[in-house]
């Protein structure tokens, strides 16, 4: 497990954003949830009678703690964009793609350059690199994202995604796996990027 706050931003901006996001993550532990919302809804996603394969599990997305003043429209936009980035990582690193495989080089879309380097060093936790060659398939059983937002002067200045991913593997390695932790986000001209993380991966119950 590694928590990294390296990013190509300037030192001053990097320090300010990192401090703000970490403070936000701590304040979110109080459990104060504003404007809870699940997105997308699970309604209407039942499996078709014509196929034995279950539909892909959708991610439950909730807006958690909002520190500072931020209009509802902007809150919703941040929640959606951050959740989309988390989903891209879930799919690229764990539950998407073909198995068995050894190549997980593309497992960290949306990460800054520094965070991607660290994730590569932590690839056994930050992807399925450790078991990818020994499994035939992955089925997600839980996908949850709670987005905490830090706002300054009516604009989102940082965000923390609290994530839970649970899945089952089939093949030579058959097990339940749980990925849990936090991803730290900063806004950039190219959208919200992951500049740090505090993530654990282990056997699920």
Q: Look at residue 139 in the predicted model and tell me its pLDDT.
A: 97
Decide if 43 is inside a domain: no
Please check the confidence at residue 2 and state whether its pLDDT lies above 90. no
Q: Which domain range does residue 71 map to? A: 11-38+58-203
Decide if 141 is inside a domain: yes
CATH number for the domain spanning 95: value is: 3.10.450.50
Decide if 175 is inside a domain: yes
Decide if 51 is inside a domain: no
- Is residue 52 classed as helix, strand or coil in its secondary structure? coil
Tally of CB atoms within 10 A around 172: 11
Q: Look at residue 54 in the predicted model and tell me its pLDDT.
A: 61
CA distance 195 to 126: 14
Question: 161: closest CA among 143, 145, 150?
Answer: 145
Please name the residue that has the structure tokens 């499994």. Answer: 135
103, 181 Cβ separation under 8 angstroms? no
Strand 191-203 versus strand 176-188 pairing type: antiparallel
The token duo for 118 is 């660290």
In this predicted model, what pLDDT tens digit does every residue of 60-114 receive, in sequence order?
A: 999 999 999 999 999 999 999 999 999 999 999 999 999 999 999 999 999 999 9
Q: Look at residue 109 in the predicted model and tell me its pLDDT.
A: 97
116, 196 Cβ separation under 8 angstroms? no
Decide if 126 is inside a domain: yes
Please check the confidence at residue 7 and state whether its pLDDT lies above 50. no
188, 115 Cβ separation under 8 angstroms? no
Please check the confidence at residue 20 and state whether its pLDDT lies above 70. no
What is this structure's pTM? 0.77
Decide if 111 is inside a domain: yes
CA distance 89 to 126: 9
The token duo for 57 is 């599990």
Cis peptide before 40 (omega within 30 of 0): yes
In this predicted model, what pLDDT tens digit does every residue of 126-152 receive, in sequence order?
A: 999 999 999 999 999 999 999 999 999
Give how many domains the chain has, as a whole number. Answer: 1
Please check the confidence at residue 29 and state whether its pLDDT lies above 90. no
Q: Write down the mean pLDDT value for the chain.
A: 83
Please check the confidence at residue 1 and state whether its pLDDT lies above 80. no
In this predicted model, what pLDDT tens digit does every residue of 151-185 receive, in sequence order?
A: 999 999 999 999 999 999 999 999 999 999 999 99
Q: Look at residue 204 in the predicted model and tell me its pLDDT.
A: 87
Decide if 178 is inside a domain: yes
CA distance 183 to 114: 14
Decide if 116 is inside a domain: yes
């Amino acid at each position: 497990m590694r928590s990294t706050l390296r990013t190509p931003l300037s030192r001053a901006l990097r320090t300010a954003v990192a401090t703000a996001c970490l403070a936000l993550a701590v304040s979110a532990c109080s459990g104060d949830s504003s404007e809870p919302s699940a997105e997308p809804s699970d309604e209407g996603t039942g499996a078709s009678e014509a196929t034995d394969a279950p539909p892909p599990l959708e991610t439950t997305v909730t807006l958690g703690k909002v520190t500072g003043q931020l209009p509802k429209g902007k809150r919703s936009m941040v929640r959606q964009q951050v959740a989309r980035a988390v989903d891209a990582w879930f799919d690229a690193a764990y539950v998407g793609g073909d198995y068995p495989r050894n190549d997980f080089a593309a497992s960290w879309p949306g990460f800054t350059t520094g965070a991607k380097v660290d994730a590569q060093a932590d690839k056994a936790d930050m992807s399925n690199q450790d078991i990818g060659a020994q499994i035939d398939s992955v089925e997600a059983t839980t996908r949850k994202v709670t987005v905490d937002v830090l706002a300054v002067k009516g604009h989102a200045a940082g965000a923390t995604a609290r994530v839970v991913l649970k899945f089952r593997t089939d093949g030579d390695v058959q097990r339940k796996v749980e990925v849990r932790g936090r991803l730290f986000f900063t806004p950039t001209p190219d959208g919200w990027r992951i500049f740090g993380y505090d993530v654990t991966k282990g056997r699920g119950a």
